[in-house]
Structure formats: C-alpha cells, structure tokens
Amino acid sequence: MSSKSEERIAISCDHRGVELKESLLELFRDEFTFEDMGTFDENTSVDYPDYASRLAHQMAEGKLKRGILICGTGVGMSIVANKFPGIRAVLVADPYTARMAREHNDANVLVLGGRVLGVGLASEIVRIWLTTSFAGGRHQHRLEKLSAIEKKLYK
C-alpha cells in the first residue's frame, strides 16, 4: 500500500451530494487527506452557491490547491466555482474526461453529480483525477491565456 498523500484536498457538497461525498471520503481516507467543508446532512436543504463559494474562495486565496464539489447534477457547483479567479472547475462524468481535465487543462476543481453517478464510477473518476498530473508543454500557454483573461476581468 502506498503512503498517504500530503496534499490537502477540499471537498464540499450540498444536501444532494452528501451520500456520494461520504462514500468517497470512506473509500479514499487511507490515501488522501481531505478537508470536509460540508454540508453534512442530506435531510436539510442547503444552497449550493454557499458551499461551492466557500471552497472556491479559499482556493482563489491560495489556501487550497485542489477541491471536489458535489451537488445533484454538478452543474450548479460548476457555475459557481468558475466565477472565481484561478479556478478551473470541470464537471466530469467519465474517466477519460477526468484524465484530460488534469493533463491538458490542469483542472483544480472536480465537480460531480451526486444524483448522476454511482459510487463505483465516481470513485474511478476521483482516483484518476487525483493521480493524474498536468502535462504542461503545449498546454501551458493555454493556461497562461486563461490567466491573462482573468487579469483583464478581475482588475
């Protein structure tokens, strides 16, 4: 068994993502260090913008490097997270996209749909996303273009 990664990964969800979040935390607890940013109760309705923005804000401030967001479909969390400078949140529903999001886009937030994905597929996606590195090279200048756009928008 490999040693536990020292990287701290934030994870947050709304009430529709609690079940999947808890399953993923259990599956990966021995391999990765997670900061669970809530919510914790699937029976109490909460607003996804509150939970997505809490995680994205800390990332935009440089306090966290990567995060995972989960809501019913993943769409709402994706929209909110991508409002923050420096965030490259991707809604992923298959392993290939998880790999490409890291290799080509250096995606720093993985978004999952708690009502769309089963635990088996979600765990495969998370494992690939957490263990795939950014390829750099020809993809680096594209990220620099994204940064330039953000600098213009967030002066």
Range of the domain at 70: 8-153
How far is the C-alpha of 106 from the C-alpha of 87, rounded, in Å? Answer: 10
How far is the C-alpha of 25 from the C-alpha of 126, rounded, in Å? Answer: 11
In a domain, 111, yes or no: yes
Helix ranges restricted to H, 12-139? 18-28, 48-60, 75-81, 95-103, 119-131
State how many domains the chain has: 1
Domain holding 140: CATH number? 3.40.1400.10
The 10s digit of each residue's pLDDT in 117-131 is 999 999 999 999 999
The residues carrying an active-site annotation are 71, 104
The 10s digit of each residue's pLDDT in 78-96 is 999 999 999 999 999 999 9
Identify the DSSP state of 135: -
In a domain, 1, yes or no: no
Q: What does pTM read for this prediction?
A: 0.94
Whether the CB-CB separation of 84 and 57 falls below 8 Å is answered with yes
Phi and psi at residue 40, to the nearest 5° = -120, -5
